[in-house]
A and B are shown apart, each in its own frame.
Chain A
Amino acid sequence: MYRILDLTDEKGLLCGRILADLGLDVIKIEKPGGDDCRNIGPFWKDIHHAEKSLFWFSYNLNKKGITLDIMKRRGQSLFKQLVERADAIIESFPPSYLSELGLDYDSLARGKPNLVMTSITHYGKSGPYKDRKSSDLVANAVGGYVYITGPADRPPVRISKVDQAYCHAGSHAAVGTLIALICRNRLGLGQHVDISIEESVVWTLMYVQQYWDLTGYIYPRSGVFAHRTNLNVRQYWPCKDGYVGWRIFLGSSGGSFGGEGVKRMVEAMGEEGMAQGLDMVHWEASGMDDVTQEDITFWEERFASFFLTHTKRELNNIAERKGIPLFPISTPADLIDNVQLNSRHYWVDIEHPELSDTIIYPGPFVLCDPPLGELRRRAPLVGEHNSEIYEQELGISPQEMTDLKEEGVI
């Protein structure tokens, strides 16, 4: 199986993680003592410790881990030995960092022409911004997604608090790495894969660019997605134990997403005697242009009352039974109990013997037949596989291992 040397920080950890999920042999290389991103929380039981970062656990599942100081000469020599046995390197250092150490793609490829190196940077390895400092929030901002997110009367806002730009870049990096390996298999040569985090974000904008280009329309933020109507139509509704998402939409097109879906909702309410004022409305025959904001408000009060009498799960069951596009606004607690996910055995228990704990993880992101990989091991401890890789594979003696530790090389 392909071996990948993973030198990434938080900008690219997901890349190695999903390649490892697919069964590739991914070795995370950290500086002695552990990478700085082990200090990113949240932490297990809120204990701020390099071996207890849940952030680290999430993105380094399935990888092996070794320590190595590539700034030291001996470390560089060891690294080159590792490269000889590897198929690809993934890294997210500032653009010129590796070339200053003589470990950039051009230098390494001289001795190993079929090497693949994937570099993840904020703006790419070329261009006027390539050396600019950035972060995930900034990447989402320059990439355009922040501008279109959030209510119009507040500053534009990022999506969630988990680094999304880095996830996009990590996914594209994994794709790029595999494509380069496929290319190598066909043409015999390796190459350098160059990921720009900014471009990864721009890809998520759907048709925002086309709107500007063709019509001069700058896609705004509005808090909720476009309903193809000028009326104010409610999207999220409180229910007995949280919120659900659903909205009124009239008309005959769109199947259950249109008037037909509303009709089915009213039928469900009728089964409980709560359809007064709604059951005589021609949801399919009318359109959004035929109704007023007062109509919408009047109806919404009735739907709102109904939702308040049910839990998220009850409403989701009604939605499934009737084929209505209603969905619970889920929290992690809802998702871990989610019937659909559990029927597909999505959640996986991973043991953490050092913590005397077992933690539930999201499972493989896709089901394949035959299976392409599985969740095998928790994220590595600092230097956990030093012995396996350095001693067993590279044949380094125990005495030399002691020397390397003392010199701070590993």
Chain B
Amino acid sequence: MLFSHNGKRRVKQLMELNKPLEGIKVVDFSWILTGPLVARYLADWGATVVKVESRIRPDEVRTVAPFNKGIPGLNRSATFANWNSGKYSISLNMKDPKAADIIRRLISWADIVVESFRPGVLKRLGLDYEQIRSIKKDIIVVSHTTQGQTGPFALQPLIAHFVHSLAGITCLTGWPDRAEVGLRIAYGDNVQATLSFLLILAGLDYRQRTGSGQYIDISQLESLIQVLSPCFLDYAANGRIQSRQGNRCSYAAPHGVYRCKGEDRWCAIAVFSDEEWKGFCNVIGKPQWVSEQNFATILNRKQNEDELDRLITDWTINFTPEEVMAKMQQAGISAGAVQDAQDIVETDPQLASRHHLFTLAHPETGEYVCEAPGFRLSKVPLEIEQSSPCIGEHNYFVCTQFLGISDEDFANLVSASVLE
């Protein structure tokens, strides 16, 4: 039977082989979003993930709102909880020389090391890839940075919001007559995390075939450029630098976001063919537009797009986004409400039926919503049961059950404040 912190939160049985990554062991040194997300994905699919933390310098996300009842606390952040569900936590004083022994044992135990330190930090701790590999030959180490481990700007202080601009996304987002806008949240972290997870899986497969480990150096900048690839090729092949165009699309019209009934309510509509255009005109009660000179073909519609969008808004403003969406769908037109947080959490029936959000209970965070993985497997049950850890919650469990440290030695580590 496995040790349980307070008997109220279930700790998974390690030997249930019903998830793809059962038995895979991960040490997670990372902070904030990218690395922790990757480690969370690994945990979702059955890996055992130990998050290495420090009370002196906790993961900054533990201080990020929203908090349970609005009261800040290291174990009360719902943001931290979502990104760190399913993990064990050990809290070490990394500066204490005796902590090095625990780190060595963790690496020796692990299959994968996830980290997001600034380049050079791990080397100073005596833990660069070669040093880690000397402890565990076939280990997979994945290092997340904004611009890579090498290169003259590897140490430039950046966060995801800045990388968006560096990668060229900001230039392309917003309105042609206005300055660029930043992306609201850490988009780059998400893009990087999914690609990183992919690489780890490829690394596991490679290890299974060859017995060799892997060092993975993933730069957020290099990951983000991938999702803008056609724009780069447009410059590379045609010398053209594309510019912002709001919600428009060069090969579709109408294509945009239209004001609906209600406070700040909008609907997105996209019409790609003249056949769809016919259906669209019938829905909004303007069949005459089908053959009207200004709108008959896509070329006409692009040339008169401002006027077209104004006229469409005159119609959409009378309906809720859901009504617009329903009418459009009946005519075979792509359309959907511009959903906000409340829609996503509470009213979207599709997300509800897919069980996209789980509610987990945590002794200090309270109940929080946790996201399901980005895909479903037909033969693997979708279960997110283990909530995020309190800081250092599993010190005893990890040391004695995973690392084979005796009760006596554990007690000494605690009294020497190696374990916080």
**Interface with B: A199-207, A267-275, A384-392, which one?**
A199-207
Contact for B194 among A126, A172, A245, CB less than 8 A: A172
Tell me if B148 is interfacial: C-beta within 8 Å of chain A. yes
Contact for A157 among B238, B247, B378, CB less than 8 A: B247
Given contacts A18-B198, A174-B198, A210-B82, contact A330 B157 (CB under 8 A): no
Residues of A within 8 A of B2 (CB): none
Given contacts A133-B332, A171-B191, contact A365 B226 (CB under 8 A): yes
B318 to chain A, nearest CB (A): 17
Tell me if B232 is interfacial: C-beta within 8 Å of chain A. yes
Tell me if B95 is interfacial: C-beta within 8 Å of chain A. no
Given contacts A147-B339, A320-B153, contact A178 B231 (CB under 8 A): no
Tell me if A307 is interfacial: C-beta within 8 Å of chain B. no
Contact B368 A214, beta carbon cutoff 8 Å: yes
Contact A179 B20, beta carbon cutoff 8 Å: yes
Contact B228 A160, beta carbon cutoff 8 Å: yes
Residues of B within 8 A of A196 (CB): 350, 354, 375
Contact A175 B334, beta carbon cutoff 8 Å: no
Give the A-B contact count at a CB cut-off of 8 A: 491
Contact B353 A126, beta carbon cutoff 8 Å: yes
Tell me if B333 is interfacial: C-beta within 8 Å of chain A. yes
Chain B proximity mask over A218-260: 1 for CB below 8 Å, otherwise 0: 1101111110000000011000000101000000000111000
Docked pose: A262 CA to B326 CA in angstroms: 51
Residues of A within 8 A of B241 (CB): 331-333
Tell me if A369 is interfacial: C-beta within 8 Å of chain B. yes
Tell me if B147 is interfacial: C-beta within 8 Å of chain A. yes
Chain A proximity mask over B370-394: 1 for CB below 8 Å, otherwise 0: 0110111111100000000000000
Contact A330 B166, beta carbon cutoff 8 Å: yes
Contact A191 B379, beta carbon cutoff 8 Å: yes
Contact B168 A330, beta carbon cutoff 8 Å: yes
Which A residues from 140 to 189 make CB contacts under 8 A with B? 140-144, 146-151, 154-162, 164, 167-168, 171-176, 178-183, 185-187, 189
Contact A182 B201, beta carbon cutoff 8 Å: yes
Contact A159 B173, beta carbon cutoff 8 Å: yes
Residues of B within 8 A of A41 (CB): 250-251
Tell me if A127 is interfacial: C-beta within 8 Å of chain B. yes
Tell me if B103 is interfacial: C-beta within 8 Å of chain A. no
Docked pose: A323 CA to B223 CA in angstroms: 23
Contact A22 B202, beta carbon cutoff 8 Å: yes
Residues of A within 8 A of B230 (CB): 42, 54-55, 58, 162
Tell me if B229 is interfacial: C-beta within 8 Å of chain A. yes
Q: Add 14 more A-B contacts to A343-B151, A362-B232 (CB < 8 A).
A: A127-B353, A135-B270, A141-B337, A142-B338, A156-B257, A161-B242, A164-B227, A168-B191, A193-B377, A205-B344, A211-B66, A215-B65, A324-B157, A359-B237
Nearest 4 pairs of A and B residues by beta carbon: A212-B341, A332-B235, A172-B374, A141-B268
**Can you list 20 contacts pairing A with B, beta carbon distance less than 8 Å?**
A132-B336, A133-B334, A134-B336, A137-B255, A138-B268, A138-B335, A141-B338, A144-B341, A146-B266, A147-B338, A156-B266, A158-B247, A202-B351, A204-B187, A225-B161, A320-B156, A332-B231, A332-B234, A361-B229, A367-B216
